[in-house]
Structure 1
Amino acid sequence: MFPSIFQDGTVHIVWAHGVDKLFSSNGLCLTCIPSQNHGFIRVRLLTPPGLQKVDGYQLRITNKDLKVPGDDTTYWCKIFRLPEFINKKVHHIIQFESSITKGNEGLVHHMEVFYCDSKPDVEMPMYEGNCFASDRPEITKTCSKVKAAWAMGAPPFTYPKEAGLPLGGPEANKYVMLEVHYNNPELRKDWVDSSGIVLHVTGNRRKYDAAIMELGLEYTDKMAIPGGQKAFPLTGYCIPQCTGVGLPAKGIIVFGSQLHTHLTGVAVWTRHARQGVELPVLNKDMHYSTHFQEIRILHRPVQILPGDFLETTCLYNTEDKHNATVGGHAITDEMCVNYMHYYPATELEVCKSAISNMALENYFKFEKRWDNMPISYNATPRMNYLSINPWTPLRTNVLDTLFYESPISMQCNKSDGSRFQGDWEGIPIPKIKLPLPEEHRNCPNENHLEN
């Protein structure tokens, strides 16, 4: 019965217990029940069999008594030098987990550990500060290769027994960087935080080196969600041209996935196609919550071959907003990302898209000339989106059609931030010619359940 009623992904459970028998939920008064006898929890019911606990050295990459700035959104970066035993020999990360300061669970939104992808003898300044500060040393921007990623609600992530994520060694740089996204809507100035990520590492390397690849949309204000929407879609593409140049001939094996949006995201999924034919979905969460962002082991490993097409879609609910919600880094902005965990490691780290610059410029010209919106050709996309008001059904449909039909700009990037060679601007969106049949849910009514 479970597979036909419950979808894989997040399940929102309201629970209660009492002394009487309950034959129907009709008329049930939760507020009449003592608070200790009812509650709410988010879980993933259809979880694959758990992986065994790991033995390994625990490497703590955490802040220490940081006085968090009193801003709404802070991205805090801190450089760490790896221990000498890791610098002398390549180790594998076989598990990682969060370490959150007690009481700060709502403050820490997500965290990442980046490897500093420079030559082995390059010394990194021990920078600690705002990731976007003007005085951040330029060399620290080479700390861009993801080693671990955690977001609010995620449990420990354990690698399959045949793979581990490489760390250290004499041919690698000796530094990593912790990036923590703090969400402080109350603008409190009294937060003190020592949160971070704990890496479990071993010197006994496994058969395959693993890696993380980003799918979805670029972190850019070129994308936006109109206000007043129940389920507005945005889609990011990993096109065949990019997987064609970035993946090895035998492809890669995907074993884990973490879906990520900010506050208005309500559903996320990644479709997978080969030569126009849709294959089973890579990962899907139709009841997504930004407060429960697990890195999920897939029910089955998925092989991605050169030339495959990956399409990541996010749905957003902005019914409580009037203005547009724009893409960006702040918690009040939006993202649409799938952090895909796979092996063997490749150079391809980012396979994401955004609407092409030319298409967006033409859209704003249209809104100014024909819709009489106060668009400025010298303003940023963010400012122009925010100048469009109100978001009528017609304007919303125009924007939806624009995103669906317009050419795209691709980030087909290596771990050092450089793009693979090629022209990645103004590319037509690939189409899945033979989609899978629509999935139907067998949801019995209440009377059926009672029988």
Structure 2
Amino acid sequence: MEVFHCETDADVEIPLYEGNCDLMPEEARVCSRVMALWAMGAAKFTYPKDAGLPFGGRDYNPYIRLEMHYNNPNLISGVIDGSGMRIKYIDKLRKYDAAVMELGLEYTDKMAIPPGQLAFPLSGYCIAECTKIALPETGITVFGSQLHTHLRGVRVMTRHFRDGKELTELNRDDFYLNHFQEIRHLWRKPVILPGDALVTTCFYDTRGYQNATLGGFSIQDEMCVNYIHYYPATELELCKSSVSEKTLADYFEFMKKKDHQKIDIRKGRAASYRAIEWTLPHVNELFTMYTNEPLSMQCNRSDGYRFEGYNWEGAPITEVPIQPPQPYTSCSRGGKSLQNSDDCDMFGMCIY
């Protein structure tokens, strides 16, 4: 479930609508700024004392949209759902206005996961060129994070890069479960500066599946997202990517002509992916394309339009070095320094 605010003038009326989100009135498409969200396994989320999500006031449009995703694979009729969202508020503004930003992969069937894979990785990029344009000079502070995939996701992380060097990760879950999508309060609140890059990587287990799994909205499709809660609020709503259109067209053409795959591009991306025989060399070719070729970058405001000032189609990919984690030699517990690295995890957090 997601709650969106309608980002438009206060006097604009949004037509009441209940039904398929793909068919909602054009006037309602401005209702896309995330206010609150919930996924399976999440408990309540409370803002820190110095930040809050602002709403209301003379210039604030009073309309919001509640979007709910259902899964009813057996098409059982007559089911009535009473789910909803309860939002508690106070009447005093806090020091910082907070917001929610989506990192990761664009929801599109341009991305695919071959069948029979133990831990196939897909990465979504928030590149330096986007944060340089969209973030304030002093940066933003991230205090919460919710990692999200569908049924095949088994591991998720968001890595943080500045000037070519990797900083401490924003969040990671090495034992991710789709039915336990907690919203984590971050103990260490990272600051993202203009020019920083964020790379969200999801690993998928597709053993037992016969066809490629595509990106998309259905629970049978896949996503790779990190919803971060941060302050101060900015106009940047989405910082997500997918492979560029030209790269994907060239890839299908290569697979058809050079690898003799039975691809008919006129039938669309989904059919093209599912026409491929997923041998190990073909899996490796797909992985190489995703990790080396240019991006279609979604550096978007909440109205769905991209920030101006850069060509986001064919944007450069962020280089992600692969290196073993360096163990910590000390950490602290209750203010007391611990010298034995066995007492700490790889992030310097204490192991109890």
TM-score, structure 1 as length reference: 0.71
What is aligned with 1:324? 212
Counterpart-to-counterpart distance in 1, 2:320 and 2:326: 14
Match of 1:232 among 113, 120, 124: 120
What is aligned with 2:332? none
Partners of 1:117 and 1:144 within 8 A in 2? yes
Please report how far the alpha carbon of residue 386 of structure 1 lies from its aligned counterpart in structure 2 after TM superposition.
1.4
Percent sequence identity over matched residues? 56
Matches within 5 A, 1:350-365: 350-365=238-253
What is aligned with 2:135? 247
Partners of 1:226 and 1:323 within 8 A in 2? yes
Structure 1 residues 304-313 or 430-439, which shifts more?
Answer: 430-439
Partners of 1:276 and 1:434 within 8 A in 2? no
Q: Does 1:115 align with 2:5?
A: yes
**Structure with the larger strand share:** 1
What is aligned with 2:264? 376
Structure 2 unaligned regions, length at least 5: 329-340, 344-352
Counterpart-to-counterpart distance in 2, 1:405 and 1:442: 37
Partners of 1:165 and 1:210 within 8 A in 2? yes
Give the SS at the match of 1:199: coil
Match of 1:273 among 157, 161, 166: 161
Please report how far the alpha carbon of residue 377 of structure 1 lies from its aligned counterpart in structure 2 after TM superposition.
2.4
Q: Does 1:202 align with 2:90?
A: yes
Counterpart-to-counterpart distance in 1, 2:135 and 2:59: 23
Q: Does 1:408 align with 2:295?
A: yes
TM-score, structure 2 as length reference: 0.91
Counterpart-to-counterpart distance in 1, 2:324 and 2:57: 45
Counterpart-to-counterpart distance in 1, 2:120 and 2:132: 31
Partners of 1:277 and 1:433 within 8 A in 2? no
Give the SS at the match of 1:385: helix
What is aligned with 1:12? none
Counterpart-to-counterpart distance in 2, 1:335 and 1:219: 7
What is aligned with 1:395? 282
Please report how far the alpha carbon of residue 150 of structure 1 lies from its aligned counterpart in structure 2 after TM superposition.
0.7
Moved over 4 A (4+): 432-436, 438-443
What is aligned with 1:315? 203
Counterpart-to-counterpart distance in 1, 2:289 and 2:11: 48
Please report how far the alpha carbon of residue 154 of structure 1 lies from its aligned counterpart in structure 2 after TM superposition.
0.1
Looking at CA atoms only, which structure, 1 or 2, has the larger radius of gyration? 1
What is aligned with 2:338? none
Amino acid at match of 2:64: V
Q: Does 1:306 align with 2:189?
A: no
Match of 1:127 among 14, 17, 28: 17
Give the SS at the match of 1:193: coil
Match of 1:146 among 12, 31, 34: 34
Structure 1 unaligned regions, length at least 5: 1-110, 444-451
CA RMSD of aligned residues (A): 1.6
What is aligned with 1:174? 62
Amino acid at match of 1:116: C
What is aligned with 1:189? 77
Amino acid at match of 1:129: G
Counterpart-to-counterpart distance in 1, 2:275 and 2:326: 38
Partners of 1:269 and 1:312 within 8 A in 2? yes
